[in-house]
Each structure stands twice: as C-alpha cells, then as structure tokens.
C-alpha cells in the first residue's frame, strides 16, 4: 500500500480509541499488524505531554503513527490540531477530519477542502476523511491529496458499505490514487468487500475495540483484508442472471 512516499506491506489501518486497557490495545495491534495506527490529539493532551506518552506506547510495538483531527468542527480547529500533532509525533502525515454533524459525524466537505488546501501548502501529507462524492474528491486531489479516505458508513455504526456503487465509481474515477475505506465497518466481511472493489486498504477502530475479544477480531480483519485483496487481484467472475452449468454436456447419457 502506497501512502505518499511510503510503502507498507499491510493494507490494514487501525484506530486506538475505546479499548478497555492499554494491554488490550497492544494485544489487538500485535494481532492486526497494521500499516499505521491512528491517534487523536487534543489541545489538552498536547499540553500535558500525553500525546508523547502515547507515542512511546505505540513505538514499543514498532508501528507508525497517523495523527488525526478527530472531533474538529471547524477549519481553524482542524488546522491547529494538525500543526500540534506534527510537533508531538514528528510526522507530516495527518488524517484530516472536519466534522459537519454531531450525530452522523459526516464530514463537512466544504471545510474539509479548505483545510486540506491549507495543510497541503504547509507541507502536510493529508489523508482526508471524506464522503464518496466525486466532485468533492476531485477538489481534494486538486489541493494536493494523493490519498483519499471515503467513509463506508457513519463512524462506529458497523453498517458496512452503505453505497457500494458510489465507492466503485470513485475507484473507477481514480484508478491510480490510493483509496482507503474509512469508518463504518462492523465485521470482517465488510473489509473484504471493500478490498474486492479494488480499494487499497481499510481503516477501522470500533469493530475491534468493542469486540468481546479485540485481539481475535483484529486477526479476523487482517485475514479478511488479505483475502479481499487477493480476490481482487485474481479477477472475479462477472455476475449472471442465469445459471451456467459447470458439468459439460458432452458425454451425457440421453434416452
């Protein structure tokens, strides 16, 4: 998986919120073996160095961190949070979130484009959490984003891929761009379905963190991502409305 100038063997990205304990989090990450792990940095966390402490915890496992601007409802707040995250974690990578609605956590696509333009000019490597709207994604690419992260469904909903046709259209429009389905995946089959569409990776959090056995669920998602990618590369058969016999008619007995 290509993320700007970095290449990763894994196509799975995992969030780090909502886990019942640091030990459970660490066990889940070991099981998932993700390319990147996301962490939300708030102003108060940066002030008391909690962000740096979290970096140390993740760094013990050897995973790269992807800071995000989760919980930001304005362009100014998202840009400021990204700038603080760069100082704390020492990376130009940023998962950009600008939220429009507190209930659905749908991206504010207008603010998202504005913030992406500011951050790209400032040298950030932006991974925007967006909808699958083609016009919005075109604007994000024009801003300088070479990675897009369209949602599958609202964050934490577990609904899976709400708009498979829209996601497929986005994949077709940007065949060479890194596309990662972010949010709403509930079970491993959802992740596999995203990979079968030709997506480069998936990012999830709640489905693992809230599982009865997070480490086992992390393993399941890791396997599903690999299976889905392998299926895409193998080339699936085209759906048909009628049956097609697998047994040849030649040699069949007739009366």
Residue 80 in marked binding region: no
Q: Is 80 exposed, middle or buried (0-12, 13-18, 19+ CB in 10 A)?
A: middle
Residue 156 in marked binding region: yes
Residue 201 in marked binding region: no
Rounded to whole angstroms, how far apart are CA atoms 24 and 29? 9
Residue with tokens 């930001």: 72
Beta-strand runs (E) in 85-208: 93-96, 125-130, 147-150, 178-182, 201-204
Q: Which two tokens stand for residue 186?
A: 């509930």
Told to judge if 95 belongs to the known catalytic residues of this protein, a careful annotator would answer yes
Rounded to whole angstroms, how far apart are CA atoms 17 and 97? 15
Which residue out of 49, 76, 95, 226 is catalytically annotated? 95
Residue 206 in marked binding region: yes
**Binding site for 1-deoxy-D-xylulose 5-phosphate: what residues are annotated?**
156, 183-184, 205-206
Residues carrying an active site annotation = 95
**Binding site: what residues are annotated?**
156, 183-184, 205-206
């Amino acid at each position: 998986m290509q993320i700007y100038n970095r290449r990763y063997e894994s196509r799975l990205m995992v969030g780090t919120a909502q886990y019942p304990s640091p030990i459970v989090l660490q066990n889940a990450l070991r099981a998932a073996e993700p390319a990147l792990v996301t962490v939300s940095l708030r102003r108060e966390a940066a002030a008391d160095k909690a962000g740096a402490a979290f970096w140390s915890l993740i760094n013990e496992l050897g995973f790269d961190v992807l800071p995000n601007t989760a919980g930001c409802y304005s362009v100014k707040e998202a840009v400021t949070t990204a700038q603080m995250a760069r100082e704390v974690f020492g990376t130009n990578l940023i998962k950009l979130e600008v939220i429009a609605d507190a209930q659905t956590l749908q991206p504010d696509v207008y603010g998202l484009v504005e913030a992406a333009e500011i951050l790209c000019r400032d040298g950030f490597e932006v991974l925007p959490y967006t909808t699958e709207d083609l016009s919005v994604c075109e604007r994000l690419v024009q801003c300088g984003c070479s990675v897009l992260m369209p949602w599958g469904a609202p964050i934490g909903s577990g609904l899976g891929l709400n708009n498979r046709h829209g996601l497929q259209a986005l994949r077709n429009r940007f065949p060479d761009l890194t596309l990662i389905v972010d949010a709403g995946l509930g079970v491993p089959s959802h992740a596999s379905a995203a990979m079968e569409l030709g997506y480069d990776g998936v990012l999830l959090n709640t489905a693992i963190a809230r599982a009865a056995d997070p480490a086992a669920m992390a393993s399941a998602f890791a396997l599903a991502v690999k299976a889905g990618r392998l299926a895409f590369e193998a080339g699936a058969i085209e759906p048909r409305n009628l049956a097609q016999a697998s047994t040849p008619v030649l040699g069949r007995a007739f009366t």
